[in-house]
Amino acid sequence: MSASLKKLVGSLLIVGFEGPRVTESLQNFLEQWDLGGVILFKRNIESLEQLTQLNETIYRLAQKPPILSVDHEGGRVFRLPSPFTAFPPMQKLGTLCAKQKNDVSAEQVGKVFARELRAVGFNVDYAPVLDVHTQPQNPIIGDRAFSEDPQQVGQVAMGFLRGLQSEGVLGCGKHFPGHGDTSEDSHLTLPVVNKSLDELRRCEFIPFQAAIQQEIPLLMTAHVMYPQIDAQWPATLSEKILTEILRNELGFQGLVISDDLFMKGITLQWKVEEAAERFLRAGGDLILLCHQEAVQRRVAAALVHQAEKDEEFHKLIIAKAEKVAAFRKRLAVGVVSDDLGKIGCEGHQKISQMLT
């Protein structure tokens, strides 16, 4: 296994790990594989001080600046402990912006998110949610969406994105081509959205088009079947959806990241190693693996072996690694110690309280 190929493959992975300290597996990925990035969850975070030290350690071990990321949306999707400013679900922000008839509050909220995330070293937030809340029975999106109106989702999400990125945190829109109309949770099964391409264009695509026009750097895929578009593959593994529609029709130039490949929307039908390779071939760039460090290593090894025996796949890996390397050069790096005291400050609390 060549060291250079290991680093190319490693740069396409973003991994999670167990516990509050860097594990042996994560350390090896950072030191030997040029790991693309890390995602943190509540299981990794005990306190502000511990989180700051953990992120400093990750930066120290990484050979090049890593994507240091978190799901930070407010409401149910909130990983960070006190004193971080807690925010209500983003549906509340969408409602406030609709009343105010602008996206000023959304930009303010994005700025607060980013100031607090950057202080402890994060440089990517998996937000904003670009899904449209069109299905009241949706168990996984619901009040995570800004609105039931696709135009309003686009406007508020772009205000939030501007605020986030103005303070040094890059955003990631999710979940393409839209998870808002499902009545099932892709963590548990493979949901189906039985809409035509024209129906998606009239609703689900609208916020994503706004994000693409604003040059959002990252979009995350949905583990959802859209049988009228691709009867064989869910969006995450679909060349029709990721390449023909997202790249060619909508003109997205940024990076495509998978949702976690350990979700049952994928693993009930495909091995993770197979799904990872298929995702890259379909048009994806960054593979998200949030759990199971032993399987993460199997996925990495499988991609290396495939690239060693398949010259076209090797070329594909090189091209994607170059795109990821360019993205990583844009990342803000390190902990911002001078800003740690701003976390949870009165000004940030007041912005949160606007939404209640």
What residues pair up with 40 in beta bridges, in sequence order? Answer: 70
CB atoms < 10 A from the CB of 29, how many?
Answer: 27
Q: Which of 125, 149, 230, 259 is catalytic?
A: 259
Kindly report each contact of residues 275-281 with a partner whose C-beta sits within 8 Å and lies 24 or more positions away, as own/partner.
275/236, 275/237, 276/302, 276/303, 277/302, 277/303, 277/306, 277/313, 278/233, 278/237, 279/221, 279/236, 279/237, 280/12, 280/313, 280/316, 280/317, 280/320, 281/239, 281/313, 281/316
- At 69 the three-state DSSP class reads strand
Structure tokens at 304: 């290396």
Known active-site residue 260 = no
- At 253 the three-state DSSP class reads coil
Please give the helix or strand (H or E) that residue 296 lies within, else none. Answer: helix 293-309
Q: Which of 143, 185, 187, 314 is catalytic?
A: 187
CB distance 352 to 87 below 8 Å? yes
Known active-site residue 259 = yes
Catalytic residues: 187, 259
